[in-house]
Amino acid sequence: MKASFEHDVLIIGSGAAGLAVALNLPPTLKIAVLSKAQLASGSTRYAQGGIAAVLDATDSIESHIQDTLVAGAGLCHDDAVRFTCENGRESIEWLIRQGVQFTENDGSAVQQDAHHYHLTQEGGHSHRRIIHAADATGLEVSRTLCQQAAQAPNIEIFENRVAVDLITHKKLYLPGNRCVGAYVLNRETSHVELFRARFTVIATGGASKAYLYTTNPDGASGDGIAMAWRAGCRVANMEFNQFHPTCLYHPLAKSFLITEAVRGEGGHLLLPNGKRFMHKFDPREELAPRDIVARAIDHEMKRLGADCLYLDISHKPAEFVKSHFPTIYEQCLEYGIDITRQPIPVVPAAHYTCGGVITDHRSRSDVGQLYVAGEAAFTGLHGANRMASNSLLECLVYGRAAAQDISRQMRDVPPPPQIEEWDESQVTDSDEDVVISHNWDELRRFMWDYVGIVRTNKRLQRAKHRVDVLHQEIMDFYSNYKVTNDLLELRNLVTVADLIICSAIQRKESRGLHYTLDYPDQCAESTDTQLIPTNYSAQEW
């Protein structure tokens, strides 16, 4: 079986960001798209709410910018916010041209001009600007882009592939620090393959699986962030982990979030006694930004010793609920919860990684010919708290920007050098995989307990001590045994967990998603938390 491949562009990740890059590149380029499982298995398909963009005449780009800046609690980069918002409409129109069927004003899903689509409102937004496909927007976007990619003759899709590490000039003892491909584990054959490319794009999503409770799929293990860090890329603002306020609480439910749009369409958050409580925390009540709502729920749960709180939309007409939230209605009904008649039990859960690999407006990282797009990237858009439905927008805007930049540079970048294939002759199969499962469980539990919604210096120091011990254990294991999917994910998770903890220790204030009892106030001025790897060197593009 072939163990070596060469392409013009290697894209690691098959969600909205990765496929936006692939589908915006010239058809003359040979492109490889790697997916951890099936092509549509990433986080994109789980996005329920929609995509924020200025599409209505009563709305404005300046309003979208201002709302984003407010939600970001003073840490957003103005230029990144403006760049994203100004390119919002064009990105939506590109999706429509690809065939994405957004919900019409009359409830149908028919392709027309963007003016005719139904727009909803979510927390932090001052206008209705969320274009959506019922309550399964991500699924529709993923379905359409996967279909387009599968039909493109220049795009080669590799499923069940997990990247092990990036290959750079430094690792090959060549001048500069250009990325020339990656070693990739084929999960079906258990062998590591070599992928060489002129350009490499990381679009692997976030790192919410570092936490015990999360809305993310199993693949969200921070692979791209960890690989880029090991390759010499700086990361920023890893302490800002967004916890979605409303994840379904049920013993049989796994990672099922209840979209923000339920609150946007009038849903009420309730205590176990049926009383509303958000008015005590913010005048915007249920439409406050996610960090405020998550902390409020966390506070009330701890105050009452409650296992969960409730989100109630049952006061709305049953047909309204079923037509606006068909996926949630059907899913909850499977667990015996009729949301047209009763409230939904909810808890907060790790949802989105606001920090990531530092990139510019063209998605370029510190390493030459290495791009990072989507949740793995730090663009400066989200600041200290991502505003609802800006994430898919970021994937599209920066994915397309990466494709445009790669297209401009292609002529000037030589083919990758010859590279030795992966050598596993010095390692053996592990007979103690219990070490992996035990460390995986321990890592996610102490991250939840010590580096969660509310933090303290003592908790962070405990977490730092534990992660250092785990890191050494895992590296010893990695050095002596053949790589597996679980081992690679654990290796990456312990790296991103360490980055999160170190970033949180550095921030001596409470701001946005980072809330600490030792520093409850927000500093008058604040800057990004930058972490610099020991092998970092500024790269001239």
The residues annotated with a catalytic role in the active site are: 290
Q: How far apart are CA 31 and CA 165, in angstroms?
A: 19
165: CB partners within 8 A, 6+ apart: 182, 183, 227, 230, 231
Q: Count CB neighbours of 331 within 10 A.
A: 18
CB 140 within 8 A of CB 47: no
CA dihedral over 500, 503, 507, 511, signed as positive or negative: negative
* Exposure on the CB side of residue 423, measured as CA atoms within 13 A: 4
Q: Which of 538, 193, 236 is nearest to 366 (CA)?
A: 538
| Class of residue 153 by CB neighbours under 10 A (exposed 0-12, middle 13-18, buried 19+) | exposed
DSSP assignment string, 99-156: T--PPBTTS------GGGB-EE--TT-SS--EE-STT-HHHHHHHHHHHHHHH-TTEE
Q: Report whether 162 contacts 182 (CB < 8 A).
A: no
Residue 381, amino acid: L
CA distance 248 to 234: 35
What are the residue ranges of helices labelled H in 232-279?
261-264
Encode 395-433 in three state secondary structure.
HHHHHHHHHHHHHHHHHHCCCCCCCCCCCCCCCECCCCC
Torsional sign, CA 34, 36, 39, 43? negative
**Gap between the Cα atoms of 25 and 6, Å rounded:** 17
Specify the length of the chain in residues: 541
